[in-house]
Amino acid sequence: MPEQDSTTSRPEPLSGKHIGSFAYVTIKDRLPGILTKVLDQFSRLASDYHNNGKPEHAEDAKAIVGKLSKMKNEIQTNKPISKLEDNYTDVSVWNDFIQNMSCLVEGKDDLQKGWFDVAWLSCECYLYRRILSALNQSSLHQDFDPFLNQKETAFNTSITAMKTLAQYVLAFLQNMEDTDEKLRMDFDTLLEYCLWGNKCDLSISAGVQVYKQLKESDQLKTLSEHIISNHTEKLYHYICKEKPLARVDFILDNAGFELYTDLCLAEFLLEKKMCKQIRFHVKDIPWFVSDTSRKDFLWTIQQCTQSEEEPIRLLGQKWQKRLDDGTFLIVNKPYWTYGQDFAEMRKIDPDLYQYLSESGLLIFKGDLNYRKLLGDRNWPTTTSFDNSLYGFCPAPLVTLRTLKCDMVVGLCEGKAEELQAITDQWMINAEYAVVQFCQKL
């Protein structure tokens, strides 16, 4: 499909210019809240350094606090978005992006564009890049991940869930006589776990047993009914027709239990000869709090290999062997932490677009990847998934996403109205989800 003109054919991006919108509330409340947690962390670090006789470390942490406090004030007062002043490898790409950000407020000069005046996706990505900028300009904290503790806690509080899911995975690994029906059931179960990873984790922590979620028909029926656009049948048909795929690429979302479910699905695809290799795309920098980095990925495998729970340990050892023999491969690509959406990839990073085109299947995980696939635009909910990709389809792709922001496509006529009558929070409460597949454009 020829590259499309993004200035004429797509709806306007979601933004904070509309007071009361979900984007507005996010920029007004949630982004400063995220910064406050990082500020508190570095303030405590500075105090600890001082008390332990490390004055240089303390001053370095205080300098980071100063930079982040300045950014927090800029958000709250809608100051103009400024260019980056660090020397990280992507700074020129980012500064070009910042310069070209459009002001969406009529009559306001582009040079004065503030946080509430530009695309929500742009300013939210910019927040995390500015956090990195503060770290990069420091002397002693350049490799510091301010979200590491949250990600490790997400893993450590999910052990019970992980153990039960590991038992399920080990059971099908030992079953050498799969029927077509059993293969499909296992595929659907693991795909839904990848889809509902975060939600299932929250349910488990509240006392709901994973085994029941895996096996009880009522639970599975409820989850399935909440998939409001479901292309699982088309996806499975494609995989079975083309197997073994030379490789499958996961564009990862969250660390913790969600990453663990991704690894379980990857194991299934390899063990059942549906593909020959899995490539996991991680984030280069601390990103959207919980996104998976290379360090997070390796730490997760290590924790699994050392787990006191035998089923988790057995899977961890198997996954470490896959890393060693290359059937699992970790991939770092800087585009995943740029501000651009995916429709711009062919222009901004043609090498990555070509790299992805060599895959048998791209699995895009989570809300942010969905937003970038669709350009975070105000699409009518009945717009087809294929059309909303806006020319981006380097290889067959599927998106697994629970709804956490007010944008979704691919719904049947009347579905949005039906859900709105149930709750006006249906687009943002993570109670509903989509599995949407595009083989080609």
Query: pLDDT (tens digit, 9 = 90+) per residue, 75-105?
Result: 999 999 999 999 999 999 999 999 999 999 9
Q: How far apart are CA 285 and CA 336, in angstroms?
A: 10
With contact defined as beta carbons under 8 Å apart, do 399 and 368 qualify?
no
Q: Looking at per-residue confidence, does 182 or 386 come out higher?
A: 386
Query: Could you give the strand order of the β-sheet that contains 361-365, starting from the edge strand earlier in sequence?
Result: 227-230, 433-438, 397-402, 361-365, 248-251, 278-282, 328-332
51: domain CATH number?
Answer: 1.20.930.60
Q: How far apart are CA 216 and CA 241, in angstroms?
A: 30
Average pLDDT over residues 44-62: 98
Structural domain includes residue 2:
no
Report whether pLDDT(217) > 60.
no
Give the SS3 label for residue 251: strand
With contact defined as beta carbons under 8 Å apart, do 376 and 121 qualify?
yes
Other Cβ atoms within 10 Å of 179 Cβ, number: 9
pLDDT band for position 174 (cuts 50, 70, 90): confident
Report whether pLDDT(294) > 70.
yes
Beta strands in 178-303 (DSSP E): 227-230, 248-251, 278-282
Report whether pLDDT(183) > 80.
yes
Same domain, 290 and 401: yes
Residues 410-425 pLDDT 10s = 999 999 999 999 999 9
Same domain, 192 and 337: yes
Tell me the Ramachandran region of residue 20: left when phi exceeds 0, alpha when psi lies from -120 to 50, beta otherwise. Answer: left
Report whether pLDDT(187) > 50.
yes
What integer pLDDT is reported at residue 209 of this predicted model? 42
Reading the block at residue 315, the tokens are: 């899977």
Structural domain includes residue 287:
yes
Range of the domain at 51: 22-137
Question: What is the percentage of the chain residues whose pLDDT exceeds 90?
Answer: 85
Same domain, 39 and 117: yes
pTM reported for the whole predicted model: 0.94
Give the chain's end-to-end CA distance (angstroms, integer): 6
What integer pLDDT is reported at residue 199 of this predicted model? 64
Structural domain includes residue 296:
yes
Query: What's the residue count for the chain?
Result: 441
Same domain, 71 and 186: no
Out of 85, 102, 137, pick the residue that ends a domain.
137
What integer pLDDT is reported at residue 206 of this predicted model? 30
Q: How far apart are CA 189 and CA 213, in angstroms?
A: 9
Classify residue 18 by its DSSP letter. Answer: S
pLDDT band for position 162 (cuts 50, 70, 90): very high
Average pLDDT over residues 332-336: 98
Same domain, 117 and 189: no
Give the list of residues 6+ apart from residue 175 with CB closer than 8 angstroms, or none. Answer: 182
Which range has the worst mean pLDDT, 255-259, 375-379, 389-393?
255-259
Q: How far apart are CA 197 and CA 202, in angstroms?
A: 9
Same domain, 186 and 125: no
- Read off the amino acid at residue 308: E
What integer pLDDT is reported at residue 154 of this predicted model? 87
Q: How far apart are CA 198 and CA 195, in angstroms?
A: 8
Nearest by Cα to 141 from 73, 63, 89: 63
Mean pLDDT of the chain: 92
Out of 103, 137, 171, pick the residue that ends a domain.
137
Q: How far apart are CA 102 and CA 100, in angstroms?
A: 6
β-sheet bridge partners, residue 328? 278
What integer pLDDT is reported at residue 24 of this predicted model? 98
Same domain, 157 and 132: no
Structural domain includes residue 12:
no
Structural domain includes residue 16:
no
Structural domain includes residue 373:
yes
What integer pLDDT is reported at residue 222 of this predicted model? 72
Give the list of residues 6+ apart from residue 154 with CB closer than 8 angstroms, or none. Answer: 201, 254, 255, 256, 257, 290
Report whether pLDDT(211) > 80.
no
- Read off the amino acid at residue 368: L
Out of 108, 137, 166, pick the residue that ends a domain.
137
310: domain CATH number?
Answer: 3.40.50.10880
- Domains held by the chain: number: 2
Same domain, 342 and 242: yes
Report whether pLDDT(200) > 60.
no
Same domain, 164 and 311: yes
Dihedral (CA of 214, 217, 219, 223) sign: positive
Q: Looking at per-residue confidence, does 283 or 154 come out higher?
A: 283
Same domain, 227 and 280: yes
pLDDT band for position 220 (cuts 50, 70, 90): low
Q: How far is CA 144 from the centre of its chain?
A: 20
DSSP 145-177: -TTHHHHHHHHHTTHHHHHHHHHHHHHHHH---
Report whether pLDDT(7) > 60.
no
Structural domain includes residue 245:
yes
What integer pLDDT is reported at residue 353 of this predicted model? 98
Same domain, 427 and 408: yes
Dihedral (CA of 423, 424, 426, 428) sign: negative
Query: Cα-flanking dihedrals φ and ψ of residue 175, to 5°?
Result: -90, 110
Long-range CB contact pairs, 102-108, < 8 A, 24+: 104/12, 104/13, 104/15, 104/17, 105/17
Same domain, 285 and 158: yes
Structural domain includes residue 356:
yes
